[in-house]
Amino acid sequence: MIKRWGSQAIVFLMWLLHWLPLPLLAAIGEGVGALLWRLAGSRRKVVLKNLALCFPELDEAARRRLAREHFGAVARGFLEHSYLWFASEERLLRMVRIEGDIHLAERTGRPVMWLLPHFVGLDYTAPALMLKQSKPAITIYQRQSNAVFDEALLKARARFGQARLFDRQAGIRPVLRAIQKEGAGFVNLPDMDFGTKDAAFVPFFGVPAATLLAPARMAQSMHMLVQPIVVTMLPRGQGYVVRFCEAPEGFDNPDLPQAAAAFNRWLEARIREQPAQYYWVHRRFKTRPEGEARIY
């Protein structure tokens, strides 16, 4: 019961925060990030290890500066979820700037896959897709262990437009039915380490990383239009840019590990454009090839 009350208090705090001007909340987030940098020792080690593997050309001081900036972005991203949970449509649309061809999915007669890599502002894709174009969107949802947060996240992610979320435990079949029968676009998050199942070890910044094969297989087998989306958090609380990009070159390679490697190369280039905003707190290299030593 105490845990539930604590969770409800956090949700209430998020409701209070959404009344603040975005520049002020961004400054608070930067301060919280500086505190997390000092206190979150285990995640700090993960971030620094990831940066050492992916940016060996940087010296240690530069990587630590980048890591501190990353913690500020992560904290901002969390606190600025308060707007996604509670702000009006009009306010969210003022916060989001669209770049690229957001209406491409509406014009095609093919099924659509939106590839959404893990930059800290990725959830700001939702108001763009739900409020600025008409194609319904679906995605797979990992239930949270905390029931209060799970309910809040579900409401936030489905509060505008024609959005549907499918429990990961239900498998892929409900998703396929929605794509084929309802014409929904599929939001796919392809860049996490889910182990060796249906994955191949392909380079990510030159390091073998367990990379999902299902996105490329699904896109090719269903002849899907593939459109990646990159979200950029602007400095000093100026809002977010949601950029609709062209498909990664080589993602249509029938050799699925090569297709996965092509996606990783594309993602590396996007990360280099805004390195502090990629989700480095994730243990991207946790799964290792057989016989290789643990990284974390």
For 227-253, write each residue's pLDDT tens digit: 999 999 999 999 999 999 999 999 999
CA pair distance 84, 95, nearest whole angstrom = 11
Q: Is 181 exposed, middle or buried (0-12, 13-18, 19+ CB in 10 A)?
A: exposed
34-66 pLDDT tens trace: 999 999 999 999 999 999 999 999 999 999 999
**Residue 116 CB neighbours (<10 A):** 21
CA pair distance 121, 233, nearest whole angstrom = 6
**What is the pLDDT at residue 162?**
72
- pLDDT bucket at 23, cuts 50 / 70 / 90: very high
Q: Check if the beta carbon of residue 233 is closer than 8 Å to that of residue 76.
A: yes
Helix (H) or strand (E) holding 232: strand 225-233
Q: Check if the beta carbon of residue 117 is closer than 8 Å to that of residue 265.
A: no
CA pair distance 10, 78, nearest whole angstrom = 12
Q: Note the helical H segments in the chain.
A: 2-17, 22-39, 41-54, 60-79, 81-86, 89-95, 104-107, 125-132, 147-157, 173-182, 214-221, 256-273
Helix (H) or strand (E) holding 25: helix 22-39
Under DSSP, is residue 142 helix (H, G, I), strand (E, B) or coil?
coil
Report the DSSP pairing between strands 199-204 and 207-212: antiparallel
Task: Judge whether residue 281 has pLDDT over 80.
Answer: yes
**What is the pLDDT at residue 1?**
63
CA pair distance 249, 46, nearest whole angstrom = 30
Q: Check if the beta carbon of residue 215 is closer than 8 Å to that of residue 190.
A: yes
User: Which single residue is written with the structure tokens 């949270």?
Assistant: 144
